[in-house]
Amino acid sequence: MSLYDDAVLVLKGYEGQEELRQAYLEHLGTHPDGMWKACEDGHITASALVIDPARERVLLTLHKKLRMWLQMGGHCEPGDTGLEAAALREATEESGVVGLTLLPGGPVALDRHPIPAPCNWHFDVQYAVLAPPDAVHEVSDESLDVRWFAYDEVADVADESVVRLLEATRARL
C-alpha cells in the first residue's frame, strides 16, 4: 500500500473533527502529490506527542526555525510505510529517544496550520507515543532544545495546537 493510500485509509477511519477530516480527504482527492512537501497547496505531515512512562509529562522540542515549543513531527518521506511510521520516525529523530511506542487507536488529533509560502498549509496528522522507562533524549539538528514539561506547564510554553493535542492525548490515555 502506498503512503497516499495509507493516509486516505487512516483519515477515513479517524473518528472526530469531522469537518477538518473531510478537508484533509478533499485535499488529497484533488492533490495526488498532497503527501509531499513539493505540493504548494499544502501537504500532509505527521507528528507525535512524546509522553513519559509515568504519564505525567510530555517531551517538547524548541523548534529551531519557528522558535516555538512543539511536539515532534515533520514531513513524510518516500521510505515511510504509513503515517504511523512517519510520526514514529519523526518523534525518534527529533527526540533522540529510542524505543518509543505508539498509543493504540490511530491518530489522536488533526491540526491544519498555515506555513510560509510556497507550501501554504500543513495538514498534520497527530499521534501520541510513550517513551520507555529508561528514555534518554537529545537535541537534534532541527531543535534548539528538548525538554520535559509537566502537563500543567504546557499551556505556559506552547501554543493552542499543542495544548489541544495534549488534551486529546490525555483523553486517549
| DSSP states along 33-56 | TTTSTT-TT-EEEEEEEEE-TTSS
Please state, for a pLDDT cut of 90, what percent of the chain lies above it: 90
C-alpha cell read off for 8? 486516505
Q: For residue 144, what pLDDT is reported?
A: 95
Residue 132 has pLDDT above 90, yes or no: yes
Dihedral, 170, 153, 121, 28 alpha carbons, nearest 10 = -10
Contact (Cβ atoms closer than 8 angstroms) between residue 172 and residue 102: no
Q: Which residue has the cell 506555513?
A: 115
Classify domain 3-172 by CATH architecture: Alpha-Beta Complex (3.90)
Instruction: Give the 3-state secondary structure of residue 81.
Output: coil
Residue 106 has pLDDT above 80, yes or no: yes
Q: What is the pLDDT of residue 143?
A: 92
> Which carries the bigger pLDDT value, residue 85 or residue 66?
85
Lowest mean pLDDT among 99-108, 114-123, 140-149, 161-170: 114-123
